[in-house]
Structure 1
Amino acid sequence: MSTVDTSALVTNQPGYGNHVAERTLAAAGKVHLAQVPRGIKIWVVTDGVDEAKELLADPRLSKSSPLLQSVIREQLAETGQEADEVQLSGMFGPSMMYSDGEDHARLRRLVSKSFTPKQVDRLQPLVDRLTGELLAGLPTGVPLDLVSEFTYKLPITVICEVLGLPVEDREQVHGWTSALVLDDPERTMPASRAMEAYLGRQIARVRHTPDDGLICSLVHASVDGDMLTADELMAQLFLLVVGGHETTSGLIANTMYALLVQPDRWRRLVEDPALARAAVDETLRFDAPTRNTTHRVTVEPMRIGDTVVPKNAIVMVSLSAAGRDPGSTADRPDEFDLHRADRRHLAFGYGPHNCLGRNLALLQAVAAVTEMAARFPNARLLDTSPPRMEASIVGGIAKLQVLLQ
């Protein structure tokens, strides 16, 4: 086991993020103890794909919201903080992300029908239309930030449409979600409170005036007479709003960076648009927008590698390290290869908590990259070392300066 500081967990380095740091961590061992803001201790596992899969499917690593919140509050108390007075982000609520067993299965069933391949295919015309409209409005011949002008606007607009949120609210909603994914309590907590108040108003709205959005469906959802509690409903909406666009935005931005940073890659895509899916898949392996898993808690002492992680420890598994594992690809795991045969990755997770929105994310990313290449064949990257989001879980590029032409 090694002990590292917070910076080893945060993807705030330019370019391809902290992959050098991750490789250094992996060389030092499989398990690393880090401390994040407020003094919370996290055990981070940097291992190969197969080993990571075993952990993500291991019931000894619980996703229970009550257990996680209890452990966080206990750690806060140990640092002298008044744990009972400390608010926790709405992201830690009892959603399908933070639940186990039948609770998780029940919550997932209430949402899953909206993300089946058939339902996602029905969104193809919407995604294509929005992609075309957003790109048509971008200026050419002048520097612009592709993240603020395009890569987040597409997925936030799509998820607003799916959920039934007013499109005119998307800037405000994105402002909250971008704060919620950071490791900065001074920003996340005000955003969490504002988001909860906003979603409460949306819930009240659809109770009074039902519509076709997913929020309305969840408010009235029932499986064998089972409905969401108020806390579950709020937690599910937090997850869907944040997870429904932040990681997709990162996937699009990271893919565009990987293609534009080597002009020959961009030329190959322009000449062969069918490579768009390969580019997205390779980005998921090489530069995943979800760098580490969300929190898990050990329900008993666990041996991971040569380290015994104690009971009630918070654990994250490095998805980036798994994607760069030399054993996960045929060769050259640290190279971006549009023609790689083996692109095994865990960017969408694994086991019961695999990402429900993966098909929607892929649909948007492939459409975005394909249309970008068609409209701007001579696009250029202006900053080859773009900044990253300062977060331990998400790993998206924060700004991507380009010249479209």
Structure 2
Amino acid sequence: MPSATPLPDTGWLAAETGRLFDFGRDFAHPLGGAAWLRADGTPDTSAPVHTWITARMAHVYSLAELLGVPGAAALADAALAGLTGVLHDGRHGGWHPSVAADGVPAAGKSCYDHAFVVLAAASATLAGRPGAPALLTEAIDTLVRRFWDPAQRMFADEWDTGWQRLDEYRGLNANMHAVEAMLAAFDATGQRECLDRALAITERTIGWGREHGWRLPEHYDAAWQPRLDQHRDRPRDPFKPFGATVGHALEWSRLILHVEAALGERAPDWLLPAATALFRRAVADGWAADGAAGFVYTTDWDGTPVVRQRMHWVAAEAIAAAAALYRRTGDPDFAQWYRTWSAYVREHFLDLRQGSWWHELDTANRPATSTWPGKPDLYHAVQATLIPRAPLAPGLAAACATGAVR
């Protein structure tokens, strides 16, 4: 049963939410959508406009609007305008991965990007933003029609621009965010099939977790056979790194609990044990694995650290997962981890001079830029300040809309 005992050390969360919202206010790009933000919060208009960043900012400022933040509605609408404008492929349908500063779109179509468009449109719909319901309808239709494989009960990963060639690569990262998107779409539309897809993906993911000692394979072939050596020669790849990604195990741990809560009495009894097992493995492999505070980014299949940089999003997901597990179980061990990681984030990741969180630290917990220059978006950090204050279901936008975020 969910715990009624408050989490410890939550007083900083609301203030930090507001500080993050303030940091991102200048994100608008002249082409439309969200610019990549530098470390000081100024927009880098020479960089491409990315669909995933624009969708995340639409989601974040829709949450801000639901929380009553002044000026948030206009910011959400500016990001949404990028999704209905420059980033939308008016010829072939769907969304370009990005558009360069000269207006030329990047090639291809990515499930990862389309999942974030669904999330953004669902949150914007719940926030009452103009045009959001139509965007959500199109985004769900495109994501499901183009990427969903009912035989495999998973989403495919990458098409060419004109939807003629489906790449053989399959990835768990896109499916993880598709679970989040399907839960948000269910909140916004009530479509039960969205919830069914989220459970189907979760069930398959848990199966791979069990088979690999709860270190989740990220990369697969077209038949969904794991490619355990993918990118061994490129371990720092920002989206497809080699090995087990510690932060994704934490993120999956939390998402499993959201799926369970959304299902209610329909939820199978293996969800909570799986969430706990993924959390425990991630902590054992990732936290202070090299003797210094912080989570390593990736490990080999025996748990040996590979990339030891500390990513802000991993710490954010650790806070959120510990809070969710404590809310679900009442186990004080999870509350202690929440306290430990909150203190770590406040000491090392918060940039109290320029704003937001450093997106990457080196092994000595100093700001670094080997993988993520600047502070591109607010998604992980904002959610880490809201999830400990929210129920496990409904999702964040619906919880904000009903005043359930405390």
TM-score, normalised on structure 2? 0.28
